[in-house]
Structure 1
Amino acid sequence: MTHYYYGDGKGKTTAALGMAVRAAGHGLPVCVVQFLKGSFSGEVQTLGMLPQVTLMRLPKDYGFSFQMTEIQKTEVTSLHNQMLLDAALWAEQNPDGLLILDEIGDVLELGLADEQLVRQLVMHPLAEQVYTGHGEQPLFADYADYVTECRCVRHPYQTGIPARQGIEY
C-alpha cells in the first residue's frame, strides 16, 4: 500500500520515520530516501544504527532551492534521479519492505527530479511506500491508499523561534 503525508504543518517526516522505526522493529527492511536534505539531522544518526535501514540522502547540504544556483539545481536533479533509480532497485529487491520518499512532493513541485522516474515508482509500487511533501500533489493524492494532510494551526516559527535541535531537526 502507499501512504501520502502532505501539508504546511509539522509532522510529515516525523510520521514517515515513525513508520520506519516500527517496520524495522518488526524486522522488515526499510529504505529512507531523503530528497533536498543533506545537512545533519538527529534521525540520520539514529536510523544509521538500525541494520534493517538503508538511508539515501544528498552528499552535502545545498540549502533551500531558492538559494541554489542553476548549476547546483542541475547537480541536485541528477543526484535525485540517481536516488530514485536506487530506490526503485531497492524496492524491487525488497518487495516486503518499506520505502520512504521524504520530500518527494516538493522535489516534483520544484522540478528537481525526472517526473517519469517518480511516476514509475508511484504507479507500480514494489514495496510499501510513503511519500511526503508540502503542497498537495495529485500524483500522490490520487493514487495513495492513505492520504493525510498535516495542517499548521500554530507553530513557533510564526513568533520568530528558530528550529530547535532534537525537535525540528
Structure 2
Amino acid sequence: MDTYALLRTLGALATVLGLLAGALWAVRRFGIRLPNRIGGGDGTRRLEVIERTMIDGRRSVALLRRDGREHLILLSPEGNVLLEAGIVRDEIDHAAEAARLEAQREAMEASRAQSEAMRDSFFAMVDKARSGVKDRVEAAQPVVQQVKKRVQPEGNRAKPRGRGGSRRA
C-alpha cells in the first residue's frame, strides 16, 4: 500500500468520524428523538417508567405508571413479580413531589447564579490581566526603541537576505 492510498484511507476515516460526531452533536443539541412508534400517534403515552433501582447485580425494582396508577415490579432472571398494583397517589405524595420540584428549581437557580458569578469574575480577571499586559507593553516601548537603536544603527541596517544567499562581513 503506497502512501497516497494510506492518506486517502485515513482522510475517509476522518471524514466519516467527523460526520458521526456532527450527527451526535445535532442529536444532543436539538433533542432529536425517533418518532413514537408504539402507543398513540398524538404523543400521549399511557405507560411510563417512573424509576428503576438496582437491588443487586441481577435484580432490580421498577415503578411503572399506567393511566395514572403506579405498579411496583421486581425484575429478575428467575421471573418478574408484581409487588404492589394500583398505587394511587394522594395529596401527601403530590405535596412531596411539589416540594421536591421546588427544591430542584431553587438548586438550579442557585447553580445558574453561581455560574454567572464565576463567568463574570473570569471576565473581570481576563480584563485585569489584559490591562496589566497592555500597561507593561506600553511601559516597555521606550526601552525597546532604545535597544533597537543600539543594536542596529540607522546607517548600518542589514539588507534582507535572499534565498540561499549568505552575508559576509
TM-score bin (small chain): under 0.3
Which structure exhibits the higher relative contact order, with contacts defined as CA atoms closer than 8 Å and separated by 6 or more residues? Answer: 1
Structure with bigger helix share is 2
TM-score under structure 2 length normalisation: 0.21
Structure index of larger Rg: 2
